[in-house]
Chain A
Amino acid sequence: MSEAVAHDHHHAHPTGLKRWLFTTNHKDIGTLYLWFSFTMFIVGGIMALVIRAELFEPGMQIVKPNFFNMMTTLHGLIMVFGAIMPAFVGLANWLIPMMIGAPDMALPRMNNWSFWILPFAATLLVAPMFMGGNFMDGQGPAFGWTFYAPLSTNYQNLGFFVFAVHLLGISSIMGSINIIATILNMRAPGMTLMKMPLFVWTWLITAFLLIAVMPVLAGAVTMLLTDRYFGTSFFIAAGGGDPVLFQHVFWFFGHPEVYIMILPAFGIVSHIIPTFARKKLFGYSSMVYATASIAFLSFIVWAHHMYTVGMPKAGILFFTYATMLIAVPTGVKVFNWVATMWRGAMTFETPMLFAIAFVVLFTFGGFTGLMLSISTADFQYHDSYFVVAHFHYVLVPGALFAIIAGVYYWLPKWTGNMYSETLGKWHFWLSAISVNLTFFPMHFVGLAGMPRRYADYQLQFAEFNMMSSIGGFVFGLSQLIFLYLVIKCIRGGKKATDQVWDNPEGLEWTVPSPAPYHTFETPPAVK
């Protein structure tokens, strides 16, 4: 069924820098996204290590409080908008056309633009860090990644921040429009919606979420900008506005955003587990419907981030129950993965290890989420390290592990070479152990009352914080193994077969490894 052509013979492609600047090819753009994401992952990771170094012991040792706040703020923003989201878009670029039997993305020039906005947006975001003379007195944003008004409206360089978010939004919206158009318009004949691979399904729904909420985020930051510079009163009670309004608008974006960062991860894991369990996915259609349900629910749960702000009881109860409902479709997914592995002929190559760790640790993060959804209990957990532990469990061994698993899984298809399984296993075990060492103790200090976003803490939290810091440094350094492994794999290694794995499902495994420049010049037939 493979009708792919091994090389593109229509025209010469620019080489060198021009190839990357002007490219309209989905694979080149996917590569750009992935390297950009990894760079931001390192930048955001260094910021995390500054935080962990400062928190290694009680007292102020390394940075000034404002610099610390800048680190927590930029770490969050860079990891969300610079590392996780672009990584998923990079994977979407590489994989969706191959998975649905298309020659490329639907709108290739816009695809290039979506990517090339990102480095400029990142520059705007971090530029103020280098203003103010002395580096330690930099003027970067220091109001938390959620930039609540009125703290953010008092920020001296608000314009840089607001426009960075605008540009990130434009990039995400264009990227999502492209993905939707590709999925809905470029599928090979015979590939009905309910035959689409799950990564494609999850991205279709994710792209819809992005187009729905990124403009709302743009609206929120626009209101911040006009409140600060042009005299409006959206978030100023003296003028008839309300800072709480900011939280509503922000979290109307923010909660779907959480699922934007996890739905494609669900898709990736739903590809990897069947391959290494050598069984079909237990329930394909239930996976699709569960994804859609989660996306729907994501729009009606936003205020569970703001239980303590002073809302009517009826509102709090509504958001509590709506939030708990999310456990149902999420449970459908988790049981689906477990049932797929049940009595499978399992092997534990690196992608599978990361995928299994994802299932276990993401579920753990989901459970703490369930605890947080209970409004009465949340009054204690709110803004404590328990919350930090919760969302790092769903984002690091959750979203990030799925991305890493996906890279291991498809790397042989991209490069044509197998990666080093030994190094992969080192990377996995070091990451899996250190990620728990980093974040598990945070549950305890949080429950014991340690608030998030402070540069210092009381003495009784010292041991657990020291453990977290050691874990953080081990985790950070372990990622260098990954970098080394990927570069090594690109440069050579054992040649990968077209199938790469033992009978995996999907069109991408029917084309040569490495995949040709334009994968399907004529669409394949899908049974």
Chain B
Amino acid sequence: MSAHGGYYLPEPSHWPLVGSLGLFLTTGGLAMALPSSPGGEMGSLAVMYTGFAVLAFMMFGWFGTVIRESESGVYNEQVDRSFRMGMGWFIFSEVMFFAAFFGALYYVREIVLEQLAQTSANPYNNLTGEWIWPAFKGATWPTAGPEGLVYKGAELAEGAKLGAKEFLSMKAMGIPALNTLILLSSGVTLTIAHWGLKKGNRNQLILWLAATVLLGFLFIGFQAYEYVHAYSDEMNLRLSTGAYGSTFFMLTGFHGLHVLVGATILTVVLLRCIKGHFSEEHHFAFEAGAWYWHFVDVVWLGLFIFVYWLV
């Protein structure tokens, strides 16, 4: 352990290299398993699972080291600031990742659809549609494209049955609205937990943090239920359902994955709280988890408006 003007500089560590190996096995394994021709069979994923195991091992080891160092009090205020900046900029990078998919949604909805459906005021913009798919004229969002399934609306008329070549869009005012309520409440419960931590009220901290984690997993449960419903014959809404299916599942899917990560972070923080970690002033991990959770929350609001509501 070496203190340099108070700034903690860690000893040489093998964890980063273990992490690189884990990433390599995970991605290399998946790359090898992917079919080399469209429609081909997936190969063995054993290498990828090994990679996951190595990554999990790395995370236990690396985070464990950091937690031990933190609890032993070697991190001063300046180190804490470095961590805060690191987390803040990491979240910014995540925002930009989602921005790419929101941008894709905007582009297929507002620009591509107009060209394919031949609804542009500028006749030159309509040429692709006119020449290749004249029958697609006048199509509106949601769409699975000129050669995809036909959009039948958000729900069927009483007694009607969905055809094999048709799909439904996801209604905003059902499970998604409920999930909005769940995520927003989880932001409130998390803040109450934080107040408890700052006041030194451990019961308040643990109770409300547990509630937050519970709400998080509840959200994931509802989301999974929604996906199962979407994939059924009652909706025919899948990842392969053209532009609508692609943007819907990629945006909500990556968001769901981030909720899972956020809930896992908060679970770890909860376990640490139960073990008696953190102090009233010194609890960066809690705050980092909270920032991440609020980020996931805000992305969801964007999804709720642009993916579910404005259909």
Residues of A whose CB lies within 8 Å of any CB of B are 8, 10-11, 13-14, 18-19, 21-24, 102-104, 106-110, 112-113, 116-117, 119-120, 123-124, 127, 156-160, 162-164, 166-167, 170, 173, 176-178, 180-182, 184-186, 211-216, 218-220, 222-223, 226, 228-234, 236-242, 245, 248-249, 252, 312, 518, 520-523
Which of B37, B62, B148 is close to A109, meaning CB atoms less than 8 Å apart?
B62
Least Cβ–Cβ distance between A497 and chain B, in angstroms: 26
Q: Is B2 an interface residue (CB 8 A)?
A: yes
By a CB distance below 8 angstroms, the chain A residues around B262 are: none
B145 near A245 (CB under 8 angstroms)? no
Which of B27, B104, B238, B239 is close to A124, meaning CB atoms less than 8 Å apart?
B27
Which of A14, A107, A116, A520 is close to B86, meaning CB atoms less than 8 Å apart?
A107
By a CB distance below 8 angstroms, the chain A residues around B125 are: 312
Least Cβ–Cβ distance between B111 and chain A, in angstroms: 8
Which of B11, B12, B82, B111 is close to A107, meaning CB atoms less than 8 Å apart?
B82
Q: Is B244 an interface residue (CB 8 A)?
A: yes
Least Cβ–Cβ distance between B151 and chain A, in angstroms: 10
Q: How far is the CA of A252 from the CA of B104 in the complex (A)?
A: 12
With both beta carbons as reference points, the residue of chain A lying nearest to B25 in the complex is identified as A120
Also in contact, A231 and B103, with CB within 8 A (given A21-B17, A239-B246, A240-B145): no
By a CB distance below 8 angstroms, the chain B residues around A107 are: 82-83, 86
- Pull 16 A–B residue pairs with CB atoms less than 8 Å apart, ordered by A: A11-B2, A103-B7, A113-B16, A113-B19, A117-B23, A120-B24, A166-B27, A182-B82, A186-B82, A218-B100, A220-B100, A226-B250, A238-B147, A239-B243, A240-B242, A518-B9
A239 near B112 (CB under 8 angstroms)? no
Q: Mark B221-248, 1 if CB is under 8 A from A, else 0.
A: 0000000000000000011101111110
A181 near B243 (CB under 8 angstroms)? no
By a CB distance below 8 angstroms, the chain A residues around B250 are: 222-223, 226, 232
Which of B2, B20, B112 is close to A245, meaning CB atoms less than 8 Å apart?
B112
Q: How far is the CA of A160 from the CA of B13 in the complex (A)?
A: 28
By a CB distance below 8 angstroms, the chain A residues around B2 are: 8, 10-11
Also in contact, A103 and B4, with CB within 8 A (given A109-B13, A113-B19, A185-B82): yes
Least Cβ–Cβ distance between A91 and chain B, in angstroms: 21
A116 near B97 (CB under 8 angstroms)? no
With both beta carbons as reference points, the residue of chain A lying nearest to B38 in the complex is identified as A228
A240 near B24 (CB under 8 angstroms)? no
Interface of A is mostly: helix
Which of B9, B86, B99 is close to A181, meaning CB atoms less than 8 Å apart?
B86
A170 near B23 (CB under 8 angstroms)? yes
B10 near A108 (CB under 8 angstroms)? yes
A233 near B97 (CB under 8 angstroms)? no
By a CB distance below 8 angstroms, the chain A residues around B132 are: 237
Also in contact, A231 and B238, with CB within 8 A (given A113-B16, A166-B27): yes
Least Cβ–Cβ distance between A464 and chain B, in angstroms: 38
Q: How far is the CA of A170 from the CA of B104 in the complex (A)?
A: 22
B244 near A240 (CB under 8 angstroms)? yes
With both beta carbons as reference points, the residue of chain B lying nearest to A115 in the complex is identified as B16
Q: Mark B91-105, 1 if CB is under 8 A from A, else 0.
A: 011101101110110
Q: How far is the CA of A8 from the CA of B94 in the complex (A)?
A: 38
With both beta carbons as reference points, the residue of chain A lying nearest to B20 in the complex is identified as A116
Q: How far is the CA of A280 from the CA of B148 in the complex (A)?
A: 65
Which of A18, A176, A214, A242 is close to B107, meaning CB atoms less than 8 Å apart?
A242
With both beta carbons as reference points, the residue of chain A lying nearest to B21 in the complex is identified as A120
Q: How far is the CA of A520 from the CA of B6 in the complex (A)?
A: 12
Also in contact, A113 and B107, with CB within 8 A (given A158-B34, A237-B116): no
